[in-house]
Structure 1
Amino acid sequence: MRLLVFCLLLAFPLQARDCNISFGYGLLISPEQIRIMSNDRTLMQINHDTQLFIKGEWQDLTQEETALVTEYSQGLRKFVPEIVGIAVDGVELGLSAMERMLSGVGSRSQQAEWNELIRETTFQLMSRFVRSGDHFYLAPQSLNELEHFLNGELKPQLNNLARHSFGAVWEALRDTLQHTETNFEQTDPQQWDAMGHLVERINFGLEEKASLLEEKTALFCQRLKELNAIESQLQQRLPQMLAYDVVVEKH
């Protein structure tokens, strides 16, 4: 059961561990702005892909510098929403399926307990990845740390949630059926069959996300290297940017 539900979380390939580049600051992407953040404070900001602000001060850029800022900004816009979207979509797929499975099963107190567990697990995800409409947030991390987050932090929580939820559902069904005239031995296989189909659907969706992540991991790392090169050019032209190394490569 755990293998079926959590196949997505095992999906990050070895290439991710070989990528030695990371984001040193949080990134908030919106249609008009990109904010480079630390502890909820904006340190640098790019408006409309052309205007650069450092610590709230507008930077007077040459034409060449503006072109570099635009290239840098557009690179971030391609990378951040994509990786946030894949991570959020994949985990929410499993959580929403669990919510549907739990709907209408058990007492009100059981429903409240299960929903709270799902909310807590979702909150753990949202502290690292946020997608709200056309706004995206990615916390400071590398692909290595992302893999550790999915497998080392989030995976055990989802594991516990699934074990608790799935077991509780069948216990609640058993309790309900034992107080009716329905023959449990006849109904139980039908319920397990329905459960099997549900898990198959979850598994299929997660496998699609896993394949997508596997295909794109090397591309993500390459994009980070390209962004690091652009950032280095900007830092040479604008020394005030040296204090805020957004894309960090460890040698």
Structure 2
Amino acid sequence: MRWLMMVCLVISGSSWADECAMAFRHGILISPEQIRVQTANRTAFQINNDKQLFIRGEWITLTAEEQELLQRYSHLLRKFVPEVVGIAVDGVELGLSAIESMLSGLGDSSQQEEWQQLIRESTYQLTSRFVRSGDHFYLAPQSLHELDSFLHGELKHQLKNLAKQTVGAVWEALRDALRQSDDNFERTESPNWQPLGELVSKINSGLDQKAGELEQKSALFCQRLTELDQIETELQQRVPQLVQYDVIIAKP
């Protein structure tokens, strides 16, 4: 019944954030051969080659109908998770690349390494909930509403702070170089140098585009979530061991 109510909401044209008030309760890790559902950093159950089901390491024998359900479930996850992760990761990379571009050509090798380390640390912090590495994808437990909030709020705030740190570091290095009157700091003009306000505006504009992309696809994403929820319910009815690992949930 829950999935049917969701379809009605999509058709009625309600706010997309309200339509998608469903979430992943567990983390999803997708690779070409496997789909792993993780809880507390451990694999609760996994699907191998879209047709074999293992629950806590135990192979579950499935009928032909159950295998078909499992394949549908796997194929939808493989469509949904990489696309959602891609939107988030692209947003992070967009902001970080703008900062990296601005820093290009400024400072000596030691200072460049220091700034790059700061950017690497920020990348790790910002992408812990969304991971894309080649054809491997990870989505942490969350809802589409939380992803929207991440793009509109949390990510903008953290990238703005990083921009302040890096711009401040550049000016501090320049002041030190001028006071010392030595050649430790390369004062080569960078064509990518931008005042803080312009840099933040550029980052925010790019993030607004990614948030717009998410909103444009919201109806499709909601449809896929409801289909996943329906298939999951059918699988749980046929394989009771899966009931305790309800992946798609309604989140108020």
Q: TM-score range by the shorter chain?
A: 0.7 to 0.9
**Cα deviation, residue 85, structure 1:** 0.9
CA 1:58–1:193 in structure 2 vs 1: closer, same or farther (change >3 Å)? closer
The equivalent residue for 2:155 is 154
Letter of the structure 2 residue corresponding to residue 23 of structure 1? F
Q: What's the counterpart of residue 195 of structure 1?
A: 194
Distance 1:236 1:80, change over 3 A: same
1:45-84 map, 5 Å: 45-84=46-85
TM-score (norm 2): 0.78
CA distance in 1, matches of 2:116, 2:124: 12
Q: 2:83 & 2:234 partners in 1: Cα distance?
A: 25
d(CA) in 2 for partners of 1:24, 1:56: 20
Instruction: State the shift of 1:248 in Å.
Output: 0.8
Alpha-carbon spacing, 1:191–1:153, altered in 2? closer, same or farther (3 Å):
same
**3-state DSSP of counterpart to 1:230:** helix
DSSP 3-state at the match of 1:195? coil
Equivalent residue letter for 2:79: K
Matched, 1:126 2:106: no
- The more displaced of 47-56 and 67-76 is 47-56
Alignment correspondent of 1:3: none
Aligned partners of 1:105 and 1:173 also within 8 Å: no
Q: Aligned to 1:136, what secondary structure does the other structure show?
A: strand
Q: How far 1:18 sits from its partner (Å)?
A: 4.3
SS in 2 for 1:106: coil
- Whether the 8 Å contact between 1:121 and 1:154 is mirrored in structure 2 is no
SS in 2 for 1:49: coil
> What is the alpha-carbon root mean square deviation over aligned residues?
3.1
Q: Distance in 2 between matches of 1:232 and 1:81?
A: 23
Taking a change above 3 Å as real, the CA distance of residues 159 and 17 of structure 1, as seen in their structure-2 partners, is farther
Quick one: distance in 2 between partners of 1:233 and 1:191?
59
Q: Residues 8-33 of structure 1, C-alpha deviation per residue, up to 9 Å, x if partnerless?
A: xxxxxx52254221111110101111
Partner of 1:183: none
Q: How much does 1:148 deviate?
A: 3.4
Question: Among the aligned pairs, what percent are the same residue?
Answer: 62
2:60 corresponds to which letter in structure 1? Answer: Q
Residue type at the aligned position of 1:147: D
3-state SS in 2 of match to 1:104: coil
CA contact (8 A) 1:29 1:77 kept: yes
Give me the whole-angstrom Cα distance separating, in 1, the residues matched to 2:222 and 2:237: 23
Residue 28 and residue 149 in structure 1: after superposition, are their counterparts in 2 closer, same or farther (change >3 A)? same
SS in 1 for 2:106: coil
Paired with 2:226 and 2:121, the residues of 1 have a C-alpha distance of 35
Q: Give the aligned residue type for 1:114.
A: W
The question of whether the paired residues in 2 share the 8 Å contact of 1:24 and 1:248 is answered with: yes
Counterpart secondary structure, 2:76: helix
Aligned to 1:237: 238
Structure 2 counterpart of 1:221: 222
Kindly provide the amino acid, as one letter, of the partner of residue 112 in structure 2: Q
Report 1 or 2 for greater relative contact order, CA contacts < 8 Å, sequence distance ≥ 6. 1
Query: Are residues 104 and 42 of structure 1, via their aligned partners in 2, closer, same or farther at CA, if it must alter by over 3 Å?
Result: same
TM-score after normalising by structure 1: 0.79
Q: In the aligned structure 2, how far is the partner of 1:203 from the partner of 1:161?
A: 13
Amino acid in structure 2 at the alignment position of 1:229: Q
Label 1:109 to 1:248 Cα distance change in 2 as closer, same or farther (>3 A): same
CA contact (8 A) 2:37 2:46 kept: yes
* Aligned match of 2:4: none
> Which residue does 2:186 correspond to in 1?
none
